[in-house]
């Protein structure tokens, strides 16, 4: 499907009656495509080790104060196979960019889920090498979630987002070319983001061969270079979600958990009324978090 509608700066900044109209149009487009059904996805976090150093992320490798963990396969498998909520239709296995966890925890977990459940399986693991992504696909994962983060190449480099923007988008295209359904996304309200760079996010999203796209509000993390920056406002983030829905009525668009941080009075709920058609439940059990590696352990492949 080709996008036939694109937002303007006025759309992204809409308030009052104009914002209400934008959001209602998005909600109507969602109902017309998906009815009133909402997908429910379980999320399990297998590792917060990361070899990247993104300025906006608390998992960045230079954060020496973060207690690092890798979860264990057996406990996650027991939970997802035997104790998951009945509303769950698929599971997303995510981590920092940690090839060790991808190989030693995620790969066997995907095999277990494929053998013992009928759940859809997606992974969110960053940029991995072609052999490992192929093994994950052969094990039974079908959707790869990899955000392009932001579409402004200069700001992308300044914030030390993964690799370069060209490399990131090339990896997304490569995943699609090898049979993955790919969902991506970007961050709204990043420090240094202009109106033009915000609009670039939509142009890039429309150009990529995606099955879905998310918008996450910028929330400053502790022990990051942006810890003192102002967080993104909820309303412009919701306007971005509405714009995505109008641009691509067929996409899966999640109401991300960070919406509640940007709008604790009901950001998640408002996201569902603004074009989202997927919610997530974090099922990572506390007892799965183990300190099997020190905070200085390597995560290179």
The answer to whether residue 43 sits within a structural domain is: yes
Tell me if 206 sits within 8 A of 3, measured CB to CB: yes
CATH number at residue 80: 3.20.20.70
The answer to whether residue 236 sits within a structural domain is: yes
Kindly give the confidence (pLDDT) of every residue in the chain, 301 residues in length, as a single tens digit, with 9 standing for 90 and above.
Answer: 777 799 999 999 999 999 999 999 999 999 999 999 899 999 999 999 999 999 999 999 999 999 999 999 999 999 999 999 999 999 999 999 999 999 999 999 999 999 999 999 999 999 999 999 999 999 999 999 999 999 999 999 999 999 999 999 999 999 999 999 999 999 999 999 999 999 999 999 999 999 999 999 999 998 999 999 999 999 999 999 999 999 999 999 999 988 988 877 778 889 999 999 999 999 987 755 544 433 333 343 3
Q: 3-class DSSP state for residue 207?
A: helix
**Residue 301 pLDDT:** 37
Number of domains in the chain: 1
The answer to whether residue 29 sits within a structural domain is: yes
Instruction: For the full predicted model, state whether its pTM sits above 0.85.
Output: yes
In what helix (H) or strand (E) does residue 235 lie, and over which residues does it extend?
helix 234-247
- The range of the structural domain enclosing residue 133 comes to 9-285
What does the angle CA 107 – CA 110 – CA 114 come to, to the nearest 5 degrees?
145
d(CA 110, CA 122): 9
The answer to whether residue 3 sits within a structural domain is: no
Start-to-end CA span in the chain (Å)? 36
Q: 3-class DSSP state for residue 77?
A: helix
Q: Which residues lie closer than 8 Å to 149 by C-beta, 6 or more apart?
A: 54, 156, 159, 161, 162, 168, 185, 186, 187
The answer to whether residue 296 sits within a structural domain is: no
Tell me if 121 sits within 8 A of 113, measured CB to CB: yes
The answer to whether residue 300 sits within a structural domain is: no
The residues facing 214 across adjacent strands are: 185
**Residue 297 pLDDT:** 36
**Residue 260 pLDDT:** 85
The answer to whether residue 85 sits within a structural domain is: yes
The answer to whether residue 295 sits within a structural domain is: no
In what helix (H) or strand (E) does residue 215 lie, and over which residues does it extend?
strand 212-217
């Amino acid at each position: 499907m080709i996008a036939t509608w694109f937002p303007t700066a006025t759309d992204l900044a809409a308030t009052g009656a104009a914002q209400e109209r934008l959001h209602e149009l998005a909600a109507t487009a969602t109902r017309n495509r998906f009815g009133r059904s909402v997908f429910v996805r379980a999320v399990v976090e297998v590792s917060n080790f990361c070899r990247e150093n993104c300025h906006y992320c608390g998992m960045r490798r230079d954060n020496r104060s973060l207690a690092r963990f890798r979860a264990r396969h057996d406990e996650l498998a027991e939970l997802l196979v035997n104790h998951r909520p009945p509303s769950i239709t698929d599971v997303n296995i995510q981590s920092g960019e940690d090839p060790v966890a991808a190989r030693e925890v995620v790969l066997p977990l995907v095999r277990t889920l494929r053998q013992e459940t009928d759940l859809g399986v997606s992974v969110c693991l960053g940029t991995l090498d072609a052999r490992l992504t192929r093994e994950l696909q052969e094990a039974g994962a079908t959707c790869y979630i990899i955000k392009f983060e932001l579409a402004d190449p200069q700001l992308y480099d300044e914030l030390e987002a993964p690799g370069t923007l060209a490399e990131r988008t090339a990896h997304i295209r490569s995943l699609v070319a090898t049979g993955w359904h790919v969902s991506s996304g970007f961050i709204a309200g990043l420090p240094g983001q202009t109106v033009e760079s915000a609009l670039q996010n939509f142009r890039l999203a429309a150009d990529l061969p995606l099955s879905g796209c998310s918008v996450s509000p910028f929330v400053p993390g502790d022990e990051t270079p942006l810890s003192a920056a102002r967080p993104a406002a909820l309303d412009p983030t919701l306007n971005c979600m509405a714009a995505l829905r109008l641009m691509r009525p067929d996409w899966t668009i999640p109401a991300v958990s960070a919406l509640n941080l940007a709008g604790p009075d009901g950001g998640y709920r408002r996201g569902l009324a603004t074009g989202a058609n997927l919610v997530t439940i974090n099922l990572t059990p506390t007892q799965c978090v183990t300190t099997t590696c020190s905070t200085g352990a390597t995560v290179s492949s």
